[in-house]
Amino acid sequence: MQFKQDFFEQLVGFYSQVYPLPISNPHWLGWSDDAAKLIGLQKPNDELLMQLSANYAAPGASYYAQVYSGHQFGGYTPRLGDGRSIILGEAIGPNGAWDVALKGGGPTPYSRQGDGRAVMRSAVREFLVSEALAALNVPTSRALAVIGSDLPVWRESQETAAITVRLAKSHIRFGHFEYFFHSERGDTGKLTQLVNFTIQQHFPHLSADAAGYKQWFHEVVQSTAKMIAHWQSVGFAHGVMNTDNMSIIGDTFDFGPFAFLDTFKEGFVCNHSDHEGRYAFGQQPAVGLWNLKRLAQALAPIIESNDLIVALNTYQAALVKQYLSLMRAKLGLPQPSSNSNILSEAAQVKQDQQDLHLVGQLTVLLEANQLDYSNSLRRFGQVDPNRSDSALRNDMIDVAGFDTWYKAYQDRVGEVADVDVWQGNRNGVNPKYILRNYLAQEAIIDIEESGDNRKLLQLQQLLSRPFDEQPEMEDFAKRPPEWGQGLIMSCSS
Ligand code: AMP
Ligand code: MG
């Protein structure tokens, strides 16, 4: 790995230097070739294993933990910071630099009561989901590897520690800006410095002046909206959308008790500690805006309130636009760009509303009929819109309700010229395989019980090609068995 140290060198006072502590008997549990390529690495080797398990120093690494704060479940915590993630620096890759962080690398000045470690099950889950989301084309941080150990750690019972090697284009969170706003009231020096750095590193097309700041916040609103639209389209529930877990570049970030929907349920809550359902699946779009408002408050000293509000007001439309585009592709509804006669603005708005309604009605049907979200969408690869019977119909209990929906759907899709091509396109955007909680759980149990990581590797391989038929892996596309239904994860990771 070849590092540069822009954050470390330019943002003194925004982090604490801290060395990671080794984990004993380190071994690769997982390695992502795809993530490795991003930073110019090929295959894992022993030297790298020793470096990434903190047993040897990595040449060129700086080792630091960033300070930030954030709103957690609606309440402000004035100081959080990296309690168990230690950044080595920005590794230079063929297409840009990626922060390399050891998540679970040991205590830092921000650990509070925590031990600075990650348990194997949570490290494995973060590794798997990072790479699975990337393969689904959802903006996300990545995971180079997950390293197991025999270091004991205590949660509800004794477990073993592991490290996820996280790659992120940025570790800067909404909570960074909140920290320097709330802690340095009146003095905007550090806040401005952080905004300038963020723009220079991640929004290089913008200038570090008033006009640039305004446009920058607009782009943050847009990318956050797009990220959440992606989540809603693939049925992903993040679980802990605290502002300290929101990346400033709109990547899915900091995975805890996340889950993909099995049975579609708007009110699905994946986080055991989320008693009020604040971060329920269907709440995510609204929470994204709430979080952006907290960010806007922190930026108010350096960006005109009116400009912040104008940008916030673009959120909903941006989210709906992205969501509609993704869902139109999934259902095979014509995209606006493919209309042979371009619609007037008013007609397009009407069309959008109708399509949104059609999509919404489908999810209502899925929920009422207790159907699996991903598998139901995958069915569109077998639907022939030219015919009145359809593969989906057989899954429904409320057949009459479905028939009404399907009629409206057929009208909208129109006559399909080449059904094979149409169905192939549906299969190219509706995954056959997603990271169901029970699958991750099975892989974790194997490792816990006998150190056997073969299921983990198999799952990782499978999820790197989520849209491809993989006949020998058919079982992995199934809905969860009874024990794996509605698995709810705790935050004790
Ligand atoms: P999270 O909910 O994982 O995003 O974590 C919220 C905050 O708690 C962050 O500041 C983390 O760094 C910190 N934290 C979580 N787990 C630990 C741990 N085991 N040791 C120290 N800090 C932790
Ligand atoms: Mg976090």
Express each pLDDT in 50-101 by its tens digit: 999 999 999 999 999 999 999 999 999 999 999 999 999 999 999 999 999 9
pLDDT at residue 143, rounded to an integer: 98
CB 81 within 8 A of CB 67: yes
Helix, strand, coil percentages (3-state) for the chain, rounded to 5, are 45, 15, 40
Q: Evaluate if residue 451 carries a pLDDT over 80.
A: yes
Two tokens, residue 48: 């790298």
DSSP reduced 3-state for 378 = helix
Residues flagged as binding site for ATP: 81, 83-84, 103, 115-116, 166, 173, 254
Give me the residues near ligand 2 (ion), CB cutoff below 5 Å.
Answer: 245, 254
pLDDT at residue 197, rounded to an integer: 98
Mean pLDDT for the stretch of residues 201-216 = 98
For 151, residues 6+ apart whose C-beta sits below 8 A from its C-beta are: 23, 24, 25, 117, 160, 161
Which residue, by CA, sits nearest to atom 23 of ligand 1? Answer: 83
**What residues does 86 pair with on adjacent strands?**
102
Whose CA is closest to 286, among 231, 352, 363, 342?
A: 231
Centre a 10 Å sphere on the Cβ of residue 479 and count the other Cβ atoms it contains. 14
The pLDDT tens digits for 220-230 are 999 999 999 99
Q: Evaluate if residue 492 carries a pLDDT over 70.
A: no
Query: Pocket residues for ligand 1 (CB within 6 Å)?
Result: 80-84, 110-111, 114-117, 240, 245, 254, 256
The pLDDT tens digits for 108-167 are 999 999 999 999 999 999 999 999 999 999 999 999 999 999 999 999 999 999 999 999
In 62-187, DSSP assigns E strands to 64-66, 70-72, 75-77, 85-93, 96-103, 118-119, 142-154, 158-168
Q: What does the alpha-carbon distance between residue 224 and residue 335 come to, in Å, rounded to a whole number? A: 22
Instruction: Indicate the pLDDT class of residue 457, thresholds 50, 70 and 90.
Output: very high
pLDDT at residue 186, rounded to an integer: 82
Q: How far is the CA of 290 from the centre of ligand 1 (A)?
A: 22
Q: CA of 446: how far to CAs of 439, 443, 475, in Å?
A: 11, 5, 17
Whose CA is closest to 171, among 265, 97, 101?
A: 101
Which residue, by CA, sits nearest to atom 5 of ligand 1? Answer: 83
Residues flagged as binding site: 81, 83-84, 103, 115-116, 166, 173, 245, 254
Q: CA of 391: how far to CAs of 40, 375, 474, in Å?
A: 45, 12, 18
Pocket perturbation via mutation, ligand 1, pick of 18, 80, 84, 238 by most ligand atoms within 8 A of CB: 84
Closest atom of ligand 1 to 82 CA is 12
Q: Evaluate if residue 392 carries a pLDDT over 90.
A: yes
The pLDDT tens digits for 278-337 are 999 999 999 999 999 999 999 999 999 999 999 999 999 999 999 999 999 999 999 997
Q: Evaluate if residue 391 carries a pLDDT over 90.
A: no
pTM exceeding 0.85: yes
The angle formed by the CA atoms of residues 257, 263 and 269, to the nearest 5 degrees, is 35
Q: What does the alpha-carbon distance between residue 120 and residue 162 come to, in Å, rounded to a whole number? A: 5
DSSP reduced 3-state for 114 = coil
Two tokens, residue 298: 């922190």
